[in-house]
C-alpha cells in the first residue's frame, strides 16, 4: 500500500515538472531573459494565465518559399495562426498569402537585425520602415516580435508610440535548431500547458507541422487566435 502511494506521488510530481510554464523555452534564451527587468518583460506578451486547454501557434521569418504550403495546410484545417513577417521579404506576389481571417500579422523587423547592435534611433527607424512597407500593402498589423526575441526599454517605448504589442513565446519548437520529426513533436508535447504561444518558423516542414498539430489535438488542446490568448492576463518567465 505504501509503495503504491509512493509511486502515485512520484508520478504526480514527475507530471507536474513536465508541465511547468516556460520549461519549453530554449535554455540560452531563458538565461538571457533572466537578466531583463520585470518592468520590461511585462510589456511583452509571453503566455496567457489560464487553465483552459488553449494555445496559439506563430511563425517567424516569412514570407519564404515554404510559406504557401504552410498557409494552404492551415486554411484546409481551419487553424488560426500569426505570422511575424520580415518586412523586406514582402513582395506583391506574397502579400496575398495572408488574405484569410484565420491569420493575423506581426512585424519581425526589416531584415532580421539583432537589436542589441542598434541604438534607439536605429531601432525606431527599423520599425518605422517596417510600418511603411506594411501600410503600402494595406496589411493590418498589431504585433511586433523582435529578431532573436531581443527586448529592452527602447523597444518598449517605440512600440507604445506606434500602438504595437510586443509578442514573444512560451514554447520554442526549436525547428531552427535542427529539431525534426519526433524530436520536434516531443519537445512541444512534454512542455505544453494552457495559454502557451508556440514558436515555429516558416521553414518548418509540413510533415512536422502536421505531426505537431495531431499531437496537440490528441492532448485535447485547442488552437486559438493570438487575440484570444492575449485576452488573458500575461505571464512572464520569472
- Each residue of 34-69: pLDDT tens digit? 999 999 999 999 999 999 999 999 999 999 999 999
Beta bridge partners of 200: 59
- Say how many C-beta atoms besides its own lie within 10 A of residue 62's C-beta: 25
Written as nine digits, the cell of 169 is 513565446
Q: Which of 235, 191, 211 is nearest to 27 (CA)?
A: 191
Phi/psi at 68 (nearest 5 deg)? -55, -45
β-strand 165-167 against 44-45: which pairing, if any? parallel
Percent share of the chain, pLDDT over 90: 91
pLDDT per residue as tens digits for the range 118-129: 999 999 999 999
Query: Where in the sequence is the domain holding 150, given as residue range(s)?
Result: 21-235
Written as nine digits, the cell of 122 is 536605429
* pLDDT at position 161: 97
pLDDT per residue as tens digits for the range 9-38: 444 444 444 458 899 999 999 999 999 999
Q: Average pLDDT, whole number, for the chain?
A: 93
Can you tell me the distance from the alpha carbon of 5 to that of 43, in angstroms, rounded to the nearest whole number? Answer: 44
Looking up cell 531581443, which residue turns up? 150
pLDDT band at 2 (very low <50, low <70, confident <90, very high): low
Total domains in the fold of the chain:
1
Whether residue 212 is contained in a domain is answered as yes
Can you tell me the distance from the alpha carbon of 181 to that of 167, in angstroms, rounded to the nearest whole number? Answer: 27
CA 173 to chain centre: 9
Whether residue 108 is contained in a domain is answered as yes
Q: Which residues of 2-37 are buried (b: 16+ CB within 10 A; e: fewer)?
A: eeeeeeeeeeeeeeeeeeebbbbbbeebeebbeebe
Whether residue 132 is contained in a domain is answered as yes
CATH number of the domain enclosing 123: 3.20.20.370
Can you tell me the distance from the alpha carbon of 61 to that of 202, in angstroms, rounded to the nearest whole number? Answer: 6
Whether residue 149 is contained in a domain is answered as yes
User: Does position 144 have pLDDT exceeding 90, yes or no?
Assistant: yes
* pLDDT at position 19: 59
Whether residue 12 is contained in a domain is answered as no
Q: Please, are residues 134 and 87 in contact by the beta-carbon 8 Å criterion?
A: yes
pLDDT per residue as tens digits for the range 178-233: 999 999 999 999 999 999 999 999 999 999 999 999 999 999 999 999 999 999 99
Q: Which of 115, 190, 99 is nearest to 151 (CA)?
A: 115
Whether residue 15 is contained in a domain is answered as no
Q: Please, are residues 140 and 147 in contact by the beta-carbon 8 Å criterion?
A: no
Whether residue 9 is contained in a domain is answered as no
Whether residue 5 is contained in a domain is answered as no
Amino acid at each position: 500500500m505504501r509503495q503504491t502511494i509512493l509511486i502515485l506521488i512520484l508520478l504526480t510530481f514527475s507530471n507536474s515538472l513536465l508541465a511547468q510554464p516556460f520549461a519549453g523555452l530554449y535554455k540560452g534564451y531563458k538565461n538571457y531573459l533572466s537578466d531583463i527587468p520585470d518592468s520590461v518583460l511585462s510589456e511583452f506578451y509571453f503566455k496567457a494565465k489560464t487553465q483552459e486547454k488553449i494555445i496559439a501557434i506563430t511563425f517567424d521569418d516569412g514570407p519564404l518559399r515554404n510559406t504557401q504550403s504552410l498557409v494552404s495546410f492551415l486554411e484546409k484545417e481551419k487553424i488560426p495562426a500569426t505570422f511575424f513577417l520580415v518586412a523586406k521579404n514582402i513582395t506583391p506576389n506574397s502579400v496575398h498569402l495572408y488574405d484569410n481571417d484565420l491569420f493575423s500579422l506581426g512585424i519581425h523587423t526589416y531584415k532580421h537585425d539583432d537589436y542589441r547592435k542598434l541604438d534607439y534611433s536605429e531601432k525606431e527607424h527599423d520599425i518605422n520602415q517596417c510600418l511603411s512597407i506594411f501600410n503600402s500593402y494595406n496589411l493590418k498589423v498589431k504585433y511586433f516580435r523582435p529578431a532573436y526575441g531581443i527586448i529592452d526599454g527602447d523597444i518598449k517605448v517605440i512600440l507604445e508610440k506606434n500602438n504595437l504589442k510586443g509578442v514573444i513565446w512560451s514554447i520554442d519548437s526549436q525547428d531552427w535548431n535542427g529539431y525534426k520529426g519526433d524530436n520536434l513533436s516531443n519537445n512541444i508535447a512534454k512542455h505544453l500547458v494552457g495559454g502557451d504561444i508556440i514558436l515555429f518558423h516558416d521553414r518548418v516542414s509540413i510533415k512536422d507541422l502536421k505531426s505537431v498539430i495531431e499531437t496537440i489535438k490528441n492532448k485535447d488542446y485547442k488552437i486559438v487566435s493570438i487575440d484570444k490568448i492575449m485576452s488573458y492576463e500575461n505571464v512572464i518567465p520569472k
